[in-house]
Amino acid sequence: MDPLDEALWEGNQRHVRGQISHRVSLPGLSLEQRIHTQAGTLPKPIIYAETGSRIPYDTSVTLWCRGTMKAKEYCLYIEDLRTCSDRQKPLEPGDKAKFFIKRSVAEKYSCTYLSPTGWSEPSDPLQMVMTGFYSKPSLSALPSPVVSSGGNVTLQCSSREGFDRFILTKEGEHSLSWTLDSEKKSSRLFQALFIVGPMTPSNRWTFRCYGFYKKSPYHWSDPSDPLDVQFSDCTVENLIRICVAGLVLVVLGVLLFQAQTNQRRTHDAART
């Protein structure tokens, strides 16, 4: 989160923790609500996107707000805490509500819930990221996508678009991300070099990268093609196994040679 956004959010949090008057505006409804909320009286809800906070541009998204079993209704806020853009009754078993956003945009979403004792604090904000605004960059591994266990890999994300920054993401379970400023490699190529490691075979390492501009940090390019990092067999454990197997073959060869030699001597002795 940018420092300015963080400061604004903290200000909103302090504002809501006190006594707040605000207007809920819904189609056909205008309702003054006065919220008496003291910090810590109700558990803070959690908001999350059903398919993750990174979605293609101009698509729908389903948001969930999870509160408590005593929640009577839920309110969804977009960007600020002044207007409840949508409200929903809780679904079974009663501790969460679903909000359907027909056309999601790169904005911040938060939610609150109403309990018998009043309204909760707002959830931590969920920042949605839209992808598909620009053509996809390319992703490659230097010098190759094959590494040894415990080693590092250098991943190059590059594009002819003049992106200010690139972001590298690890896909799947235990997802991670890294962000770097772009560097101008040539007159028409911009790139960022990500050094990732140590790499272990216990995890699957599939990467993609995106480009974006500082003026629109939540509007990303299409994702690059996926890049899978493979592991070589030249690990210490495998070298030990190879050496042991080689030693066994040498011993077997020596024993076989001795057996053949003894057999010839016995055969020659029988002739004489």
pLDDT digit string (tens) for the chain, length 272 residues: 443 344 334 444 443 343 333 333 333 333 334 344 444 578 999 999 998 999 998 899 999 999 999 999 999 999 888 889 999 999 988 899 999 998 878 899 999 999 999 999 999 999 999 999 999 999 999 989 998 888 899 999 999 999 999 999 998 877 889 999 999 988 889 999 999 988 888 778 999 999 999 999 999 999 999 999 998 865 455 556 656 667 777 777 777 777 777 777 666 666 66
User: What is the per-residue pLDDT for 258?
Assistant: 79
Please report the pLDDT score of residue 237 as a whole number: 56
Residue 258 neighbours by CB under 8 Å, 6+ apart: none
User: Which token pair is 225?
Assistant: 């093609």
* Pair of tokens at residue 79: 């960007």
Q: Whose CA is closest to 54, among 191, 217, 174?
A: 217
Contact 197, 203 (CB under 8 A): no
2 vs 218: CA distance, rounded Å:
11
Burial class (CB in 10 A: 0-12, 13-18, 19+), 105: middle
What local confidence, expressed as pLDDT, does residue 24 receive? 38
| 248 within 8 A of 261, measured Cβ to Cβ | no
79 φ, ψ (degrees, to nearest 5): 70, -45
Return the number of other C-beta atoms located less than 10 Å from residue 177's C-beta: 12
b (16+ CB within 10 A) / e for 33-68:
eebebeeeebeebebbbeeebbbebeeebebbbbbe
Collect contacts of 79-86 with beta carbons under 8 A, ≥24 apart: 79/107, 79/108, 80/12, 81/12, 81/15, 81/16, 81/20, 81/22, 81/110, 81/122, 82/22, 82/23, 83/22, 83/23, 83/24, 83/25, 84/24, 84/25, 84/26, 86/26
Torsion of CA 135, 138, 139, 140, to 10 degrees: 180
DSSP state of 89: P
Q: Could you tell me if 117 and 163 are in contact, meaning their C-beta atoms sit under 8 angstroms apart?
A: no
Q: pLDDT value at position 211?
A: 98
CA–CA gap between residue 245 and residue 235 (Å, rounded)? 15
